[in-house]
């Protein structure tokens, strides 16, 4: 239950202990109350137990999902997850129970040769059918070196498609500049309710839908005279862009619909045909440009797919793992990446009492320490401590 509260519900380690106090207080269960350190050790043991020996992967073909975290302090975390290829053919979205952690290691940087070396250590290369990831140069170079099929993640691919069409579009540039000006001038004013959503600087072309949905809603309110004169004046830039806003909003919603279809059902001839049918009745130069690029993306996937089979084309599950991990460590980012990254491994695999009992009984703290020494370099916090100790005597 403690492990689930952290990895599934996102509860902090100290809050887990308090939850058990409340359970005992209000339900009179008299359950033992584990400390936050005990919970942390349990999760590390569960994470260690979810790793498999190299022989485990000989049983069948595997699909690898690969990514590296953003910089935590001065380190990056490489994560490689393995999914049975048979599971990817089922035509449903991946879940944590489908995953087996293959590589989880910390490094100052991850070059192609380093990633290649780590993967070789953990799995027979012939057992890998294809890999899914974003288009990072180090990752794509790794796949070329290993001569593996590379399936571009649909989220990142669609983001690049949108960027190629809109980045230099004068209407788009003017629209986003006006939104930025509106947020800067009115966010703290009495008309703050009309301010547009914040736009992410990183990967901003992945998150344009909320901006254009906002624009379409504001135009409806303007048409119905539901805003004050001051609000209408602040939103005066919307009316001249009416056609662009509504057309782009519809286009982005259609692309979201395509992504949802392929993430849930995978890519095959049928889903590709259904996805392209969503453009029915839509015209315009931007629509045609994007549709053409999506057709090219589908053609690339088809060239890497056996006839009549379904492949997975989304790495959302690995992004979710990183997202949950960041939530767990959000209060202590200055420490850097520690063996707490084993939380990611603990999230994976099927959850049952037998598996948890086995992990608690067979994995000891010495194994956790050995894993840390092999896979986690010195943390940023430890480096700072060493530096402080060198000058402490001058201040005593």
Per cent of the chain over pLDDT 90 is 73
For residues 177 and 141, state if they share a domain: no
For residues 261 and 176, state if they share a domain: yes
Distance in angstroms (rounded) separating the CA atoms of residues 81 and 58? 16
Check which CATH number belongs to the domain holding 321 and give it. 3.30.420
Q: Which of 53-57, 59-63, 69-73, 140-144 has the lowest mean pLDDT?
A: 69-73
In this prediction, residue 56 has a pLDDT band, given cuts at 50, 70 and 90, of very high
Of 271, 303, 335, which marks where a domain is finished? Answer: 303
What is the structure's pLDDT at 69? 85
Residue 20 lies in a domain: no
What is the structure's pLDDT at 379? 64
For residues 161 and 293, state if they share a domain: yes
In this prediction, residue 336 has a pLDDT band, given cuts at 50, 70 and 90, of low
For residues 228 and 322, state if they share a domain: no
For residues 346 and 292, state if they share a domain: no
Residue 32 lies in a domain: no
Residue 29 lies in a domain: no
In this prediction, residue 332 has a pLDDT band, given cuts at 50, 70 and 90, of low
Partner residues linked to 62 by β-bridges: 84, 128
Phi/psi of residue 9, nearest 5 degrees: -90, -10
What is the structure's pLDDT at 348? 93
For residues 139 and 69, state if they share a domain: yes
For residues 215 and 140, state if they share a domain: no
Q: Is the pLDDT of residue 164 over 80?
A: yes
What is the structure's pLDDT at 10? 86
Phi/psi region, residue 101 (left: phi>0; alpha: psi -120 to 50; beta: rest), is beta
Residue 237 lies in a domain: yes
155 contacts 316 by C-beta, under 8 angstroms? yes
Q: What is the DSSP string of 273-336?
A: HHHHHTTTT--SHHHHHHHHHHHHHHHHHHHTS-TT--B----HHHHHHHHHHHHHTGGGGGG-
Of 303, 335, 354, which marks where a domain is finished? Answer: 303
What is the structure's pLDDT at 306? 85
Residue 178, both tokens: 């006006």
Residue 35 lies in a domain: no
214 contacts 183 by C-beta, under 8 angstroms? no
Q: Is the pLDDT of residue 334 over 60?
A: no
Number of domains in the chain: 2
What is the structure's pLDDT at 73? 64
Q: Is the pLDDT of residue 181 over 90?
A: yes
What is the structure's pLDDT at 81? 97
In this prediction, residue 57 has a pLDDT band, given cuts at 50, 70 and 90, of very high
For residues 111 and 162, state if they share a domain: no
For residues 185 and 109, state if they share a domain: no
Residue 5 lies in a domain: no
**Nearest residue to 125 via CA among 47, 27, 57, 220:** 57
Residue 395 lies in a domain: no
Distance in angstroms (rounded) separating the CA atoms of residues 173 and 259? 25
Residue 5, both tokens: 């509260």
Distance in angstroms (rounded) separating the CA atoms of residues 89 and 266? 8
What is the structure's pLDDT at 165? 95
Question: How many CA atoms lie less than 13 Å away from 329 in the CB half-sphere?
Answer: 19
246 contacts 219 by C-beta, under 8 angstroms? yes
Would you say how long the chain is, in residues? 396
Q: Which of 154-158, 168-172, 281-285, 379-383 has the lowest mean pLDDT?
A: 379-383
For residues 323 and 371, state if they share a domain: yes
What is the structure's pLDDT at 214? 96
Query: How far are the Cα atoms of 99, 272, 386, 394 from residue 65, in angstroms, in the given order?
Result: 9, 22, 36, 50
**Better-scored residue on pLDDT, 351 or 137:** 137
Distance in angstroms (rounded) separating the CA atoms of residues 77 and 69? 5
| Total-model pTM | 0.89
Of 243, 268, 303, which marks where a domain is finished? Answer: 303
The per-residue pLDDT for range 90-123, each reduced to its tens digit, is: 888 999 999 999 999 998 889 999 999 999 999 9
For residues 168 and 296, state if they share a domain: yes
CA 93 distance to own-chain centroid = 14
Give the count of beta carbons closer than 10 Å to the beta carbon of residue 346.
Answer: 25
Listed in sequence order, the DSSP H helices in 28-166 are 36-49, 85-88, 112-122, 137-146, 154-166
What is the structure's pLDDT at 198? 85
For residues 140 and 163, state if they share a domain: no
The whole-chain average pLDDT of the chain stands at 90
Q: Is the pLDDT of residue 333 over 60?
A: no
Print the domain residue range for 358.
49-153+315-390
Residue 396 lies in a domain: no
Residue 60, both tokens: 């069948």
Q: Is the pLDDT of residue 382 over 80?
A: no
In this prediction, residue 367 has a pLDDT band, given cuts at 50, 70 and 90, of very high
The per-residue pLDDT for range 188-244, each reduced to its tens digit, is: 999 999 999 887 766 678 889 999 999 999 999 999 999 999 999 999 999 999 999
């Amino acid at each position: 239950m403690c492990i689930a509260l952290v990895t599934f519900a996102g509860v902090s380690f100290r809050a887990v202990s308090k939850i058990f106090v409340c359970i005992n207080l209000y339900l009179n269960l008299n359950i033992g109350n584990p400390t936050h350190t005990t919970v942390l050790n349990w999760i590390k043991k569960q994470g260690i137990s979810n790793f498999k020996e190299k022989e485990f992967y000989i049983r069948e073909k595997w699909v690898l999902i690969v990514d590296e975290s953003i910089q935590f302090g001065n380190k990056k975390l490489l994560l490689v997850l393995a999914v049975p290829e048979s599971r990817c053919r089922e035509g449903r979205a991946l879940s944590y129970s489908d995953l087996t952690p293959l590589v989880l290691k910390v490094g100052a940087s991850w070059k192609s040769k380093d990633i290649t070396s780590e993967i070789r250590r953990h799995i027979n290369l012939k057992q890998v059918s294809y890999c899914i990831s974003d288009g990072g140069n180090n990752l794509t170079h790794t796949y070329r070196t290993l001569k593996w099929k590379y399936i571009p993640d649909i989220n990142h691919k669609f983001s690049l498609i949108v960027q190629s069409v809109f980045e230099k579009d004068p209407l788009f540039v003017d629209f986003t500049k006006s939104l930025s000006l509106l947020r800067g001038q009115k966010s703290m004013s009495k008309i703050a309710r009309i301010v547009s959503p914040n736009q992410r600087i990183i990967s901003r072309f992945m998150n344009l839908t909320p901006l254009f949905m906002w624009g379409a809603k504001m135009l409806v309110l303007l048409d119905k005279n539901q805003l004050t004169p001051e609000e209408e004046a602040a939103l005066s830039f919307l009316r001249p862009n009416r056609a662009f806003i509504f057309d782009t909003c519809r286009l982005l919603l259609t692309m979201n619909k395509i992504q949802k279809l392929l993430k849930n059902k995978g890519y095959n001839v049928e889903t590709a045909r259904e996805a392209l049918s969503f453009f029915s009745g839509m015209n315009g130069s931007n629509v045609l440009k994007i549709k053409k690029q999506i057709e090219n993306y589908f053609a690339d996937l088809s060239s890497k797919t056996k006839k009549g089979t379904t492949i997975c084309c989304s790495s959302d599950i690995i992004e979710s793992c990183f997202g949950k991990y960041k939530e767990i460590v959000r209060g202590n980012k200055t420490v850097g990446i520690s063996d707490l990254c084993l939380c990611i491994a603990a999230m994976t695999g099927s959850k049952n009492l037998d598996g948890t009992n086995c992990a608690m009984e067979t994995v000891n703290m010495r194994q956790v320490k050995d894993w840390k020494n092999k896979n986690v370099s010195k943390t940023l916090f430890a480096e700072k401590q060493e530096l402080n100790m060198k000058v402490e005597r001058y201040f005593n």
